[in-house]
Amino acid sequence: MRKNIPKELTYYLKLGDAVVIVDQNQLIIDVNQQYETITGYKREFLIGLPVDCLKSSVTPFVMYKSLNSTLKKGQPWSGTMVNVNKSLELRYSFITITPIEITGIIYYVGVLRLAEQLLIDEVNQHKIDQKELFKLLALSSEMRDVNIAEHLLNVQKLAEEFLLSLFEDRTYHLSLEYVSKIIEYSVLHDIGKSGIPESILYKAGSLTVYEKKIMKMHPLMGVDVLNKLSDEMNNTVFDDKKIAENIIKYHHENWDGTGYPMGLKGEEIPFEARVISIVDVYDALVSDRGYKKAWTKEEALSYLKEQKGIKFDPNLVEVFIEKVIGKNSILLK
């Protein structure tokens, strides 16, 4: 039976977006009509249920960890999550949850808006803007870092410029379809970091030997996440999952065989992983990180040249420097 809720909270139920109100015991105490529409569940059914009943295994556990940690501090939380409606369809939602104290009792007001108003089944059937879907999947796994979106999109943009240059260079005999898939999947390259503890992922100082071993597990964790996502989406969103898997699993392999997780060497490393390795490292170098300040463009290019044949495919890194980054660099004069 529905509990009486404070009058102050009833105003939130009049919002145009879907709203769910949860008490301090994590039980749903009210929802509005828009929330009923999104979930497919009637208000009378939802009231009194644990809010966890609508969780999906597709949403990385670290998202829930971030949510709980933020709310415990009395701060509002926002992020992207995957929820399951009554028809067992997956829906991607942008969610804001705000703790509100009324007469010494904490309530949580959740406001949901569907991402692009798309069902996963609709994406499967009509192939609606998959590139945007992959961005959403990547961001939903890595929302803990406010700068991650910029890095992911920078990598994708650089990869696009790089791959189009390689496509125009007939030496590599690349098809436009293959190039397009690498560009689309590039944004997923670090999706495995969703399983790395925040204390390691965002540590300000150097990692210990033990912490490095954990960090080096993220490519394999990423493959596991990819497989779960693919299974949940009936294997139809990823037109060529092998390309995505190669990028995620092998983008930290080195040309000389000293990389991880498999220690592949030279052309044993899939082409798509060799490409993403270069753009990923370049953007990381020229960006501020918790453990370092951004390098200058010249410093980053110098590093790329030094690592030819060591970390990077020597031919590919030359093309990247000349065609994408180094057009006006003093290093090339």
| Cα–Cα dist 204/221, whole Å | 23
Query: Do 218 and 196 contact (CB within 8 A), yes or no?
Result: yes
| Calpha distance 250→263 (Å, rounded) | 9
* Active-site option among 135, 193, 249, 311: 193
Terminal alpha carbon distance of the chain: 77
Sorted by sequence, the CB contacts under 8 Å of residue 223 that are 6+ apart come out as 192, 245, 248, 249
Q: What angle do CA 57, 58, 59 make, to 5 degrees?
A: 90
Query: Residue 294 phi/psi, 5° resolution?
Result: -65, 140
DSSP structural state of residue 27: B
Which two structure tokens, joined as six digits, stand for 176?
Answer: 């436009």
Q: Token pair 């971030």 is at which residue?
A: 66
- The question of whether 72 is a catalytic residue gets the answer no
The answer to whether the beta carbons of residues 207 and 293 sit under 8 Å apart is: no
Question: Quick check: helix, strand or coil at residue 252?
Answer: coil
Q: Are 208 and 200 in contact (CB under 8 A)?
A: no
Alpha-carbon dihedral sign for residues 133, 138, 139, 140: positive
Alpha helices, DSSP H, located in the chain: 7-10, 33-39, 43-46, 61-72, 120-126, 130-141, 148-168, 176-186, 198-201, 209-215, 218-232, 241-250, 271-285, 297-306, 314-319
Give catalytic residue positions. 193
